[in-house]
Structure formats: structure tokens, C-alpha cells
Amino acid sequence: MSESDRPTAESRRGFVNWLLGTSAGAFAVSAFYPVVRFIVPPAEAESATSSVTLPFTPAEIGANEGKQFRFGNRPGLLVRTPTGELRAFSAECTHLSCTVQYRTDESRIWCACHNGFFDLNGRNVQGPPPRPLDTYDVNVRGDQIVVSLKA
């Protein structure tokens, strides 16, 4: 091996620097990519649902009772008021989107995350929720309850 064929210290240093640089880059990508994917939510198609038939009959929800249902990819809440009227709401709290539930002891809708309350018209009446719940139309057709977007 002649002197000119031998790798010089400078070319070895360049190779080591390249190797360390690409390894560090690959490590940084592999470490931060999952974090970025976790923080940035995937683009989710808006629910195209405009109407759903609930999986229970009107007889299965008593006065002063609430039942959860799915409205497309969103949670919904059907409430039968103490006077017997059926009302449907989005069950996504308007504060930070926790799922709300019906409190029979209060006859109000409650968000457990930060103790927010809504009345039976969906109005935010206590706690941090900044606006009322979205409301849906409710139609009873025989034994079926059909919930749909407001016309």
C-alpha cells in the first residue's frame, strides 16, 4: 500500500463527523417524530351525520334520566326531563370537550372535568363552560327515537 492510498487523518475525521452527524440526525428524528405526531392531531373528517336512530326505545328512558348515544363520531346525550319531554344535546362540553352526563340528583347536565353545569335547555349555568351545548331535534316515530341536526 503506497502512502497516497492510505486514508488520511483528515478523511477519517470527515467520515467520523459524517457518521456522528447522521446518527445524531436520525436519533433526533426518531425521538421527535412520535412527539410531534402525538401533539398534532390527525386530520379527521367532519362528521357528515345529520340524523341517527338511537339504539333504545322511548320506553327505555324514564323521567329525569339521561342516556348517552353516538352522533356520528361525536358523543350525544338524550335527556328525558322530569316533566317527560325528550331533549338531545351534544355531549361535548363547550369548555375543553369532556363528555358531559345527566345528574339525576340535580336534574341538570354536568361536566365532571371542571364541575360545569348546563340546564335542561343546554345553557351553561355554572362553572367554566363558555357557551351552551349544541342541541339536536328529537322525533319519536313509533318505537324509534330519531335525533337530527337542527333544521
Interaction site with ligand FES (CB under 6 A)? 93, 95-96, 98, 111, 113-114, 116, 127-129
C-alpha dist (Å) from residue 93 to 7, 36, 39, 138: 67, 26, 21, 20
Strand 124-126 versus strand 51-53 pairing type = unpaired
Query: Minimum distance from CB of 70 to ligand FES (Å)?
Result: 19
- Cβ-based neighbour number of residue 47 at 10 Å: 12
| 92/138 with CB nearer ligand FES | 92
Neighbouring C-alpha atoms within 13 Å toward the C-beta of 94: 19
**Min dist. Cβ of residue 100 to ligand FES (A):** 7
Q: Which is nearer to ligand FES, 124 or 138 (CB)?
A: 124
| Nearest to ligand FES of 75, 116 (CB atom) | 116
